[in-house]
A and B are shown apart, each in its own frame.
Chain A
Amino acid sequence: MFQFIFKRLSLVIPTFIGITLLTFTLIRLIPGDPIEVMAGERGVSAERHAILSAELGLDQPLYIQYFQYVKGIFQGDLGNSLVTREPVLSEFLTLFPATVELAFCAAIFAVLVGLPAGIIAAVRRGTLFDHSVMTFSLTGYSMPIFWWALLLMLVFSVNLGWTPVSGRIDVVFWIEDVTGFMLIDSLLSDEEGAFSSAVSHLILPSIVLGTIPMAVIARMTRSSMLEVLSEDYIRTARSKGIAPWRVIVIHALRNALIPVITVIGLQVGILLSGAILTETVFAWPGIGKWLIESIGRRDYPVVQGGILIVATIIIIVNLLVDLTYGIINPRIRHSN
């Protein structure tokens, strides 16, 4: 077992080096100089350009800049944003809770809807329900997020007035930042109605962000359930006269869930990266929007640092999935 963990961990190190190199070079390969981009039509004189380059450390040879960047990582310093001049890490930490909150709610939505839909579709295979679930999930899977978000917004927020259009909480509430999670902060604030306002602001973005994972989970659950349901032991259980719901929930579902749980784990990456569009549409102050803007502004430290942290989180999640999978399934552990 230790050997297995060690092998997995040792793979992480080259992955990290790869990520630092990739983010560092890719953002620099995009043409466009951050100082020129900042100055716009107004332009900047050659002397001023030289002064600013020196201040921002952009006049150093690339290998030294890379070395500084890696040295900074070891010291826990990801540098300062070229635009706001604030430390990348502190900007990340203020924005990340919003992303996590949204991803978490979207995941709950995806599981709560996707899982039962997949199970019922499998049990009632070939019925109208089954066909509708499959059609809906295919549509959901191929839905352009931007369009889907605007559609829901126009119907539910503008025309019906059921949900707010965008933002995290109604502007009448003056919530202090304590944890950064609006659901928790609004509860802590003691302001009446703040919590339900925070919940209502989460509904549409969670549905939008959760749509694709929900479709994936529904399809995966269905096919996995179908496979299990045709196994001999299910037939045996049925012939023994066990109640049909017991056969499905206790006997079939447990085994069918194993591949589904892996898929749910993999969706974490999709939820974090897919948040970019959702965050932009719903004016959600998370890291997706922050990274996109930084790429546009050629804000090198933010792009490098932000992507590195996100990638780290995805690596850790995948590592945990791998490890638990290894624990559950001895065949994987030993094949390594």
Chain B
Amino acid sequence: MKKGLTALSLAILASSAISTSANAASTFVYCSEGSPEGFNPAFYTAGTTFDASSKSMFNRLLEFKLGTTQTEPGLAESYEVSEDGKTYTFHLRKGVKFHSSKTFKPTRDFNADDVIFTFARQWDTNHPYHKVSGGSYEYFTGMGMDSLIKDITRVDDYTVKFELNQPEAPFLANLAMDFASIFSAEQADYLMKKGTPEQLDINPVATGPFQKVQYQKDSLIRYTAFKDYWKGKAQIDRLVFAITPDASVRYAKLKAGECHAMPYPNPADLDQMKNDPNINLMSQEGLNVGYLGFNTQKAPFTSSKVRQALNYATNKQAIIDTVFQGAGKIAKNPLPPTMWSYNDKVIDYNYDPVKAKQLLKEAGYENGFSTDIWAMPVQRPYNPNARRMAEVIQEDWAKVGVKAEIKSYEWGEYLNRSKKGEHDTVLLGWTGDNGDPDNFLYVLLGCDGVGGSNRAQWCNTDFDNLLIKAKKTSDQSQRTAYYEEAQQIFKQEAPWITVAHSVVYEPIRKEVKGYKIDPLGGHHFYNVSLEK
């Protein structure tokens, strides 16, 4: 027994020496929240997967300028749009190298073939790679790219032309999304000849800042910095994702110096993080919105007066305080404030139960009515506790005579039933994909979305026409004007109560320099360095 104890304490001593040495090398450890679903970002929609694949390993024709929702040149140095807005010509960057792996060494630099391969695989159902690894390209089809693209042609080695079926301004923002990450056509050909095409999705070579070296499911992912990266080698030499699903444990690891950065802290830990001398707690408003949608096709919510009345009856500040515990901000528009074309001139409904009662009376509901509030069964950044939020709203509405019953379903059921409009009112939200206003307004409130992602089942022709006009012009100032007007109509018609935008917190250790929060929710490590 005694011997056993001595051995144990020796082991403990040895280990503590090692954990301190882990921080000395320029190895950056990120305590990620889960395993990626895979390493081909075109197949998936989860941020966890993108952090591990597209953000670290890949590049796209256009990229989001870190810290903003604007695009900047990536593998395409420049582009031109035709007058009719249907033809986009991209001029590609020269001298871009691909990673090499144990099994594949590229012989040439990046060129037009790689762009054609990447998009043709997803778009052309007859492409030899289309069906490989299951062949479901969720985001490509989800963003409507399959019906939007008419043709993709190679003009020369460094020029590619995309022809569209109709003008669609958000197309450019889509090209900066994760699913548009560029693969190596040469590796694809090599693997196809070898008879193992699915290897392309497991061990792809790409052009990004880090190269994947090892992946142990549910444990860790190791990368090395790519020394021939076209923007220059990253300042750190190695990058490790230590997969740690529990937020309290991630925080414990951060405190103990076992990792340098972590996503999604527990709201309850925030105060302690703020006061921790070793931790720098960064924060920014998230690219999301949490809302309560009225079913505008069901009485009494067909009346805009009733919808306005309940907007007045809801005390949003109380929700921010109780549900978000400060990690949220009142939303007045369906767009988050970090997005271009956010209309700050819109005046929100203030908390005014007297006004609410008066409006209800005008609408013929002097004695109130009974309804339901659907509360999501899951936690989301835009709504950390839907049940609690529903309770706060229930109490507020009761004060103006509206009796609401709280209902909830299993998540898949919830989404499905609310799509069909079985609810009276529903709590839900949205996190932006491509930083384009169209991705919020058209998806969530456009007439096309009724019976689908438009949970308010709201179709207003004035509003919808503005969105369609904005889709058809690539002039950003013109688009901004359309969207600003649309936000005014939205507020007046009140198909939703815009509840909150979350505040995203990212605790990092003090020795980490150069880290920036991505409003689109990704985690990027190219710019970071470690101070000794």
Contact surface of A with B, Cβ cutoff 8 Å: 30-34, 36-45, 48, 51-52, 55, 83-85, 91, 94-95, 98, 112, 116, 150, 153-154, 157-158, 161-168, 170-172, 174, 177, 193, 196-197, 199-201, 203, 280-283, 285-286, 289-290, 293, 298
Contact, CB under 8 Å: A153 / B249: yes
Complex CA gap A40/B142 in Å reads: 12
Contact, CB under 8 Å: B1 / A116: yes
Within B1-18, the residues touching A (CB, 8 Å) are 1, 4, 8, 10-12, 14-18
Contact, CB under 8 Å: B416 / A167: no
Contact, CB under 8 Å: A164 / B15: yes
Q: Any chain A CB within 8 A of the CB of B489? A: no
Bitwise, B1-41 to A at CB < 8 A (1) or not (0) is 10010001011101111110110010101000010011000
Contact, CB under 8 Å: A33 / B412: yes
Interface residues in B, total, Cβ within 8 A: 62
Bitwise, B205-233 to A at CB < 8 A (1) or not (0) is 00000000110111110100000000000
Residues of A contacting B354 with CB < 8 Å?
A: none
The 6 closest A-B pairs by CB, nearest first: A200-B15, A32-B412, A285-B218, A285-B219, A36-B412, A196-B14
Q: Any chain A CB within 8 A of the CB of B255? A: yes
Residues of B contacting A116 with CB < 8 Å?
A: 1
Contact, CB under 8 Å: A201 / B27: no
Apart from A36-B416, A172-B21: 10 A-B pairs, beta carbons within 8 A: A36-B412, A37-B411, A83-B37, A165-B258, A166-B252, A170-B22, A171-B220, A172-B25, A172-B27, A199-B15
Contact, CB under 8 Å: A40 / B415: yes
Query: Which residue, of A43, A45, A51, A171, has the highest number of chain B Cβ atoms within 10 A?
Result: A171
Contact, CB under 8 Å: B218 / A31: no
The 26 sampled A-B contact pairs (Cβ below 8 Å) are: A31-B412, A32-B412, A32-B413, A36-B416, A41-B428, A42-B453, A43-B415, A43-B453, A44-B138, A84-B37, A112-B1, A157-B252, A164-B15, A164-B258, A166-B244, A167-B220, A170-B15, A170-B22, A171-B22, A171-B222, A174-B213, A200-B18, A283-B243, A285-B219, A286-B218, A298-B412
Contact, CB under 8 Å: A41 / B410: no
B263 → A minimal CB distance (Å): 14
Complex CA gap A200/B15 in Å reads: 6
Within B242-294, the residues touching A (CB, 8 Å) are 242-246, 248-249, 252-253, 255-256, 258
Complex CA gap A171/B222 in Å reads: 9
Contact, CB under 8 Å: A162 / B416: no
Contact, CB under 8 Å: A41 / B415: yes
Contact, CB under 8 Å: A161 / B18: no
Contact, CB under 8 Å: B413 / A94: no
Residues of A contacting B18 with CB < 8 Å?
A: 170, 172, 193, 196-197, 200
Contact, CB under 8 Å: B27 / A285: no
Bitwise, B103-147 to A at CB < 8 A (1) or not (0) is 000000000000000000000000000000110101001100000
Residues of A contacting B19 with CB < 8 Å?
A: 161, 164, 170
Contact, CB under 8 Å: B242 / A283: yes
Complex CA gap A56/B248 in Å reads: 36
Query: Which residue, of A32, A41, A95, has the highest number of chain B Cβ atoms within 10 A?
Result: A41
Contact, CB under 8 Å: B138 / A39: yes
User: Given A31-B413, A158-B256, A285-B243 in contact, is the A43-B15 Cβ separation under 8 Å?
Assistant: no
Contact, CB under 8 Å: A157 / B217: no
Complex CA gap A164/B258 in Å reads: 8
Q: Any chain A CB within 8 A of the CB of B159? A: no
Residues of B contacting A94 with CB < 8 Å?
A: 216-217
Complex CA gap A148/B255 in Å reads: 19
Complex CA gap A68/B416 in Å reads: 28
Residues of B contacting A40 with CB < 8 Å?
A: 45, 415
A81 → B minimal CB distance (Å): 9
User: Given A55-B136, A157-B252 in contact, is the A199-B11 Cβ separation under 8 Å?
Assistant: yes
Residues of B contacting A193 with CB < 8 Å?
A: 14, 17-18
Contact, CB under 8 Å: A84 / B38: yes
Contact, CB under 8 Å: B216 / A177: yes
B134 → A minimal CB distance (Å): 5
Query: Which residue, of B25, B240, B249, B258, has the highest number of chain A Cβ atoms within 10 A?
Result: B249
Interface residue from A154, A196, A203, A285 paired with B252 (Cβ < 8 Å): A154
Select from chain A the residue with minimum beta-carbon distance to B255: A158
Contact, CB under 8 Å: A196 / B415: no
Residues of B contacting A51 with CB < 8 Å?
A: 136
Query: Which residue, of A34, A98, A199, has the highest number of chain B Cβ atoms within 10 A?
Result: A199
Q: Any chain A CB within 8 A of the CB of B197? A: no
Residues of A contacting B11 with CB < 8 Å?
A: 196, 199-200, 203
Residues of A contacting B252 with CB < 8 Å?
A: 150, 153-154, 157-158, 165-166
Residues of B contacting A161 with CB < 8 Å?
A: 16, 19, 256
Q: Any chain A CB within 8 A of the CB of B419? A: yes
User: Given A41-B428, A168-B219, A203-B8 in contact, is the A280-B412 Cβ separation under 8 Å?
Assistant: no
Contact, CB under 8 Å: B416 / A196: no
User: Given A48-B141, A55-B134 in contact, is the A165-B14 Cβ separation under 8 Å?
Assistant: no
B435 → A minimal CB distance (Å): 16
Q: Any chain A CB within 8 A of the CB of B429? A: yes
Contact, CB under 8 Å: B253 / A165: yes
Contact, CB under 8 Å: B412 / A166: no
Residues of A contacting B136 with CB < 8 Å?
A: 51-52, 55
Contact, CB under 8 Å: A162 / B415: no
Select from chain B the residue with minimum beta-carbon distance to A176: B214
User: Given A41-B428, A84-B37, A165-B253 in contact, is the A31-B410 Cβ separation under 8 Å?
Assistant: yes
User: Given A193-B18, A201-B15, A283-B242 in contact, is the A290-B218 Cβ separation under 8 Å?
Assistant: yes
Query: Which residue, of B10, B16, B219, has the highest number of chain A Cβ atoms within 10 A?
Result: B219
Query: Which residue, of B8, B138, B222, B431, has the highest number of chain A Cβ atoms within 10 A?
Result: B138
Complex CA gap A19/B136 in Å reads: 32
A297 → B minimal CB distance (Å): 10
User: Given A153-B252, A163-B15, A166-B249 in contact, is the A171-B242 Cβ separation under 8 Å?
Assistant: yes
